[in-house]
Amino acid sequence: MPMDELVTPHRKWMKAALREAERAFEADEVPVGAVVVRGNVIVGRGHNMVERLDDPTAHAELIAITAACTTLGSKKLDGCTLYVTLEPCPMCAGATVLARVDRIVFGAFDEKAGAASTLYNIPQDARLNHRAEIISGVESDRCAELLQEFFRSKRGPDLRGSQ
């Protein structure tokens, strides 16, 4: 199958995850968004709500997984794909294993906490009872750009070059 045909549906769903990330940005949260898709339908969505809820576990992936489990009436997300704008952290990667997500598609790599390929690869660890397919780098430029824009706004202008 040509690469464009393989990537095109992933781009569609990643753009839905990006819309969730933009909602987080507008709410002054770290702009990470996620959607869970099954059978060409979004069954769960979420964006970071750590600040709003004062909850360090309120990551986009966990909110989307919880919503999908509620929608489907099951703690197992067989046949589902998680689309997330940033590579999952160890907590979120572990949740994908527990929920038995079939596939994880992420945008930007996370050099500091990535647990789906960069630092660890929890979803494909053969010692665990479930493994998920990983597809990385979908819409990575836009995903990374949104994060960079957010953190630039928090730090203020870069004054190093203005002397």
What average pLDDT score do residues 148-162 get?
74
> What domains appear along the chain, each with residue ranges and CATH number?
3-156 (3.40.140.10)
| pLDDT score at 3 | 46
User: Of the residues 29, 61, 87, 139, which is catalytic?
Assistant: 61
Q: What is the mean pLDDT of the chain?
A: 93
Query: What does the pLDDT look like over 68-109, one tens digit per residue?
Result: 999 999 999 999 999 999 999 999 999 999 999 999 999 999
Position 157 scores a pLDDT of: 63
Strands 33-38 and 103-108 turn out to be: unpaired
Cα–Cα dist 125/132, whole Å: 9
> What pLDDT sits at residue 12?
96
Query: What integer pLDDT is reported at residue 8 of this predicted model?
Result: 77
- Among this protein's residues, is 29 annotated catalytic? no
- Nearest Cα neighbor of 16 from 89, 87, 77, 82 is 82
pLDDT of amino acid 158: 57
3-state secondary structure of 98: helix
